[in-house]
Amino acid sequence: MSATQAGGGASAWAPAIAAAAVAAISVRAAPGLTGWAGAGLGLLMLAIAAEDVRALRIPDRLNLAAAALGLAQTMASAPGAALPAALDAALRGGAMALAFLAVRLGFRRMRGREGLGLGDVKLAGVAGLWLDWPYLPPMVEIAALGGLALALILRLRQPALKLPDLKLPFGALLAPALWLSWLMQSCAGLFLN
């Protein structure tokens, strides 16, 4: 029996392979509990990206799970200073959510339609729970450049496509950018210690 007959082809295995790779890379990049928390983050970001591509929506339960895991990981990694670490993470999360909310409201005011969903705003808040200040701007840049690249590819493949009318699942770009930024942050710690 061929792989296609047995399991639906290579594409049927892609989510499982991606999940295994994300978990293995996370655990390898960060030792102990931090690596396992990063694996959880990566798996949640894969789920968020898949759902946003499918439905142009990020479920609250996935954002909430990522937020809870991020806050727990932040507190666990700061023994003796869990409360200050949690407050700092909450400040970063609030700042990111407010910045994305400002973009959302500004876009709606300028264009007369939604351009950024509330799930994206909440996901930006989740990022603040996971990432230190220096890693937040690169995360946004990675996601934005991914969006620009995707829009360009779609435009090249469909010249009649009107870019102002295009709806891109930004959460599907922001979620992997969050995990990649966490990975950079974790690897930077290896070189600084």
Per the structure, the complete domain to which residue 44 belongs is given by 7-192
> So what's the pLDDT on residue 165?
77
> So what's the pLDDT on residue 146?
97
Report mean pLDDT in 10-residue bins for the chain, 193 residues: 53 92 96 96 98 97 98 96 98 98 96 94 98 98 96 90 85 98 88 55
Q: Looking at the domain assignment, is residue 43 inside a domain? A: yes
Residues 111, 161 contacting (CB under 8 angstroms) = no
Number of domains in the chain: 1
Q: Looking at the domain assignment, is residue 119 inside a domain? A: yes
Q: Looking at the domain assignment, is residue 151 inside a domain? A: yes
> So what's the pLDDT on residue 182?
98
> So what's the pLDDT on residue 4?
45
Alpha-carbon distance of 133 to 71, in angstroms, equals: 15
Q: Looking at the domain assignment, is residue 2 inside a domain? A: no
Straight-line distance from the first to the last Cα atom of the chain, in angstroms, rounded to the nearest whole number: 51
Q: Looking at the domain assignment, is residue 90 inside a domain? A: yes
Q: Looking at the domain assignment, is residue 1 inside a domain? A: no
Q: Looking at the domain assignment, is residue 125 inside a domain? A: yes
> So what's the pLDDT on residue 8?
60
Question: Exposure string (b/e) for 49-65, b if CB count within 10 Å is 16 or more?
Answer: bbbbeeeeebeeebbeb
Q: Looking at the domain assignment, is residue 45 inside a domain? A: yes
